[in-house]
Every structure is written in C-alpha cells, then in structure tokens.
Amino acid sequence: MTYHSDHTFQNLNPSDFKIGEYDSCTFTACNFSNLNFHGSSFENCTFKDCDLSNAKVSGVSFQKVRFERCKILGVHFNTANPFLMEFTFDHCQLDYCNFFNLKLKKSRFTNSRLLEVDFSQAELREASFQVSDLSGAVFDRTNLEKADFREAIHYQIDPEFNKVKGARFDLEGLPGLLGKWGIRVG
C-alpha cells in the first residue's frame, strides 16, 4: 500500500487513484464517482470540488476529513471504519447518503443539501447543520443534543424519538419540530 503525505492531487479520475494511506493531502476537482476506496485511509485530508457520487467506502478510514463544494450522492458512510471518524462538509450536495449509527460528534454539515439522508441512531452531539436543506432527512433515535440547526430548512425532527436537549433552532424551524402534533406556528 502506498503512503502519501502533504500532496496535492488535481483532476484525478477513478483509474488514476491508487489505494493507500493519505495524510494531510488535498484532492481538487477529482472525479471519484463510483470508485471503490476499500483499503484506503484519509487523515487530515481535504476534498475540494470533487465528485464522489456512489463511491464505495466500506472499511475506509476518514479522520478529520473536510469536503468543500463536493457532490457526494448515495454514499454509505455507515460502512466506513467508524474509528475516530470526523467530517466537515461545507457547500456540499449529500443527497441519499447514509450515516446510520455513526458517532459523528461535532461534525459539520453546513451550507449543504442533504436530501433524504439517513441519520438514524447516529451520535450527532454538537454537530452543525447551519444553513442546510434537510428535506426528507431521517432522524430516528438520533442524539442531537447541542446540535445547531439555525438557518437550516425542511427538517422534521420528532423530540419524542430523538435527543434534542440544548439544540439550537430558529423560530422559523419550529414547524419541523411541532409538525407531528399538527401545531401551526405563525
């Protein structure tokens, strides 16, 4: 397995990618759609303007990984190596991704679109969803204590089935918390 540290990779396609360990590397404008990353690990890496749609991440290690302006559709992060997993997603499209049962304390999902993402049973204490669209996202037995939903839109969170103590919401977001009971705000 190859080891790469402090490298910048640009415009890679799936056939250009080498399975290996990547530490403090940057990937810019790479097309990794449908790529099987199995056997790779990423630590302190950044992906900018990349397409990782339908990538296979089974057993892959993601430690302190940042995604900026990336298209990441249908990725099952719940199959990745959960050890020390930590993400930052900024201005990303994460539709149909799966984070089921992952421990993602303090992870960031900001300024992003997360249509029908599965966060069931995930540990998202102190996570941020600021300025994100959560249409159809599933929160079921999810720990959202101290999570930040300010300026987030289209979420539906049932406080009876999720831990929300200390979470931050805008007044405009109240329908996403009260919709189950037919309470109308405004």
Whole domain around residue 55: which residue ranges?
A: 1-66+83-88
Q: Using CA atoms, how far apart are residues 166 and 177, in angstroms rounded to an integer?
A: 14
The reply to whether 78 falls in a domain is no
Averaged pLDDT for residues 170-177: 78
Q: Using CA atoms, how far apart are residues 87 and 91, in angstroms rounded to an integer?
A: 13
Last-in-domain residue among 88, 121, 152? 88
Q: Which amino acid is at 138?
A: V
Contacts 24+ apart (CB under 8 A), 90-93: 90/66, 92/67, 92/68
Pair 109, 151 in one domain: yes
Tell me the residue length of the chain: 186
Pair 112, 177 in one domain: yes
pLDDT recorded at residue 4: 96
Pair 105, 179 in one domain: yes
The reply to whether 75 falls in a domain is no
What is the tens place of the pLDDT at every residue in 153-172? 999 999 999 999 999 998 88
Averaged pLDDT for residues 19-32: 98
CB 63 within 8 A of CB 44: yes
Q: Does the pLDDT at position 131 exceed 80?
A: yes
Pair 56, 135 in one domain: no
Pair 107, 49 in one domain: no
The reply to whether 72 falls in a domain is no
Pair 121, 55 in one domain: no
What is the tens place of the pLDDT at every residue in 36-74? 999 999 999 999 999 999 999 999 999 999 999 999 999
Q: Does the pLDDT at position 178 exceed 80?
A: no
pTM of the model: 0.93
Pair 110, 174 in one domain: yes
Whichever domain contains 116, its CATH number is: 2.160.20.80
What is the tens place of the pLDDT at every residue in 88-125? 999 999 999 999 999 999 999 999 999 999 999 999 99
Task: Look at the chain and report how many structural domains it folds into.
Answer: 2
